[in-house]
Amino acid sequence: MSNEYYESPLSSRYSSKTMQRLFSLDYRCHIWRKLWVELARAQHELGLPVSAEQVAELAAHTENIDYELAAAKETELRHDVMAHIHTYGECCPKAGGIIHLGATSCYVTDNGDLIIYREALIYLRGELIKVMQNLAAFAERYKALPTLGYTHGQPAQLVTVGKRACLYLQDFESDLAELDHLLATLRFFGSRGTTGTEASFMSLFNGDTAKIDAMNEMIAKAFGFGSLYSVAGQTYPRKEDSRIMNVLSNVAQSAYRFAGDLRLLAHMNQIEEPFEKSQVGSSAMAYKRNPMRCERICSLARYVMVDALNAPLTASVQWFERTLDDSANRRISLPEAFLGIDAVLRLMKNVTSGMVVNEMVIAKAVERYLPFIATENLLMSAVKKGGNRQEIHEIIRRRSMEQSARLKLGEECRLLEALAADEAFPLNAAEIAALIRPEDFIGRCIEQVTDYLKHLDLGEPLVDEEDQINL
């Protein structure tokens, strides 16, 4: 690896080899050649002057790409697709004259992109499911562990650690549904000519529109697509890129929420991300346990969310049948978004598989605030014992304000003792203590987690990726 020139950190540090391979020049060019093979095969079967021998020759040379020759041709022709057509023709002398017959450059570039995006989405789907499986196991394990809930960032009623995990899991479930819908509705572009009218094929097939349709359907089927766009310009609709980038952004949003919350919980020493035995938290402060994985998740997720804005901005300025101001932007924005969310999910897998729950710290926080949380139950019990509701409420309010002030001075909360010692309060210390059990203040958390997980259908990962990086 050379250190002389810039290299995207997404490739050198964060993303998987699988995703890097999908967006490599080599993989893209192999897809192009396979597209040319299937175009020739369909044209042969539909009666155009393309022989079986020519198709076989093309099929036999999809792997041996001379990139030096292609680069020289591109310097000469100033056109990347034409450079690869000539390069392909050099190793296929019999078929060189029929490569790309009737097609325009977008036949290989746009269909190639759609094929790569679909494969990348399928891979990401498997990674997302693994994250969800980790969260589901975590939610089940801690569904009954009471913890302090927060609204507005302030202490609120109790929830459970597992119940909160279901909030994140539900976000990812929504993302999975959007991803599945995208995969189910992703269409093939086909070979539509320079302005999408298929005029070149009208000439080749002597106006036989059924054969033109058959050609496109045959090519689409060869690459596993069940449908094509009804109409198109020179390119597939750039709105499709917006749909793709929106799905990636949605996953980034969910990951950011999870990682952001875990950073806050780590600040309170309640739940932490995995920390390796020899891991260094700070070069200066040796005691530090920085949540660096979650910080990285947030950093990369923020990049993907912002990057996703490129697609709608590009889709909105496609003049008439096409303009080329989309090309340079798409070459960067779409691959980098895929590599970015791939990196996010790899980190998410690592974090969700080994979160450290400090139960004693959580219990201490619950103990500190539970007296305030329990005041409504205490009020009801005091009234049942004969107290006046308004008078009891005032006693609780006054004593709560006193004890809240103590907490802000760094002192211990003595609310329960203060109420028991108040002669006007109907409940004694033993009766109050019987009403202060954390598990009585978590509502339906356990039931909600159990029911949610029972109906959660994650399916199975579609790709088993063994590739690992140093997280």
Cα distances (angstroms) measured from residue 98 to each of 93, 193, 259, 405: 10, 16, 54, 85
- 175 and 214 inside one domain: yes
pLDDT at 290: 85
pLDDT at 435: 85
- 94 and 114 inside one domain: no
CATH code at position 392: 1.10.40.30
Nearest-angstrom CA–CA distance, 124 and 129: 9
Given the DSSP bridges, would you call strands 271-272 and 154-160 parallel, antiparallel or unpaired?
A: unpaired
CATH code at position 224: 1.20.200.10
How many domains does one find in the chain?
Answer: 3
Domain end, chosen from 98, 125, 143, is at: 98
Tokens in use for 383?
């009234």
pLDDT at 436: 86
pLDDT at 414: 87
Domain end, chosen from 361, 388, 407, is at: 361
Nearest-angstrom CA–CA distance, 270 and 262: 9
What's the angle, vertex CA 213, arms to CA 210 and CA 218, rounded to 5? Answer: 120
As to burial, measured by CB atoms within 10 angstroms (0-12 exposed, 13-18 middle, 19+ buried), residue 244 is buried
Give pTM, 2 decimals: 0.90
- 323 and 355 inside one domain: yes
* 62 located within any domain: yes
* 284 located within any domain: no
Percent of the chain predicted with pLDDT > 70: 94
SS3 350: helix
Exactly one of 2, 152, 230, 283 is catalytic; name it. 152
- 190 and 328 inside one domain: yes
Q: Is the dihedral of CA 91, 92, 94, 97 positive or negative?
A: negative
Nearest-angstrom CA–CA distance, 116 and 406: 61
Nearest-angstrom CA–CA distance, 147 and 206: 74
pLDDT digit string, tens, across residues 150-178 = 999 998 899 999 999 999 999 999 999 99
Q: Is 327 a catalytic residue?
A: no
Check: CB of residue 236 under 8 Å from CB of residue 227: no
Nearest-angstrom CA–CA distance, 139 and 271: 13
pLDDT at 469: 37
* 6 located within any domain: no
- 58 and 187 inside one domain: no
* 61 located within any domain: yes
Residue matched to tokens 């759609």: 114
- 49 and 63 inside one domain: yes
Q: Is 282 a catalytic residue?
A: yes
- 318 and 366 inside one domain: no
List of long-range contacts for 42-48, beta carbons under 8 Å, 24+ apart? 42/214, 42/215, 42/218, 42/219, 43/98, 43/101, 43/102, 43/204, 43/215, 45/218, 46/205, 46/211, 46/214, 46/215, 46/218, 47/211, 48/101, 48/204, 48/205
Exactly one of 12, 282, 316, 327 is catalytic; name it. 282
* DSSP code of residue 217: H
- 306 and 256 inside one domain: yes
pLDDT digit string, tens, across residues 101-110 = 999 999 999 9
CATH code at position 26: 1.10.275.10
- 307 and 432 inside one domain: no
* 1 located within any domain: no
pLDDT at 438: 93
- 394 and 414 inside one domain: yes
Parent domain of 88: 19-98
- 229 and 129 inside one domain: yes
- 229 and 352 inside one domain: yes
pLDDT at 467: 43
* 464 located within any domain: no
Nearest-angstrom CA–CA distance, 66 and 186: 32
Nearest-angstrom CA–CA distance, 192 and 15: 35
Please list the ranges in the chain whose pLDDT falls under 70.
1-2, 276-288, 459-471
* 64 located within any domain: yes
Domain end, chosen from 329, 361, 393, is at: 361
Check: CB of residue 205 under 8 Å from CB of residue 143: no
* 354 located within any domain: yes
Check: CB of residue 105 under 8 Å from CB of residue 124: no
pLDDT at 389: 93
